[in-house]
Amino acid sequence: MAVTADKIFVNLPVKDLNKSMEFFRSIGFEFNAQFTDENAACLVISEHIYAMLLLEQFFGTFTKKEIADATRSTEVILALTADSKEKVDELVNKALAAGGKPSNDPTDHGFMYVWSFQDVDGHLWEVFYMDESAVPQE
């Protein structure tokens, strides 16, 4: 039997919770107040996808490992789909205007268009549109 899950909660350490929340609000995301307090904020990405923004000190209570500095190293790239190339550009441009930093330049593979940014804590976010009808068949 395959393992399945109904929802995903990605946990990300942040230095300043209010600054991180303001960044994500300014690019159009909302937060679930039920799972938000002075140590953590529940960023709603979709009905089944969430990112828990956890103050670094609080994040540290969940692991015995050193917390990576996302401005210097990368452990994960969070990839989000968009409905069109224009929506990719819109989200990334909002992120850059809100204080995010560029990551990779936009790339058009024909069937897929990708652009990425770093949030205010250095986490990498890739936004892409894929025309599944144009995906090369093997």
What are the sequence ranges of the domains in the chain? 8-134
Distance set, CA 109 to CA 43, 60, 128 (Å): 30, 39, 11
Tell me, rounded to whole angstroms, the distance of Cα 26 from its chain centroid: 14
28: left (phi over 0), alpha (psi -120 to 50) or beta: left
**Could you report the per-residue pLDDT of 41-85, keeping only the tens digit for each?**
999 999 999 999 999 999 999 999 999 999 999 989 999 999 999
Question: 8-134 has which CATH code?
Answer: 3.10.180.10
Instruction: Write down the pTM of the prediction.
Output: 0.89
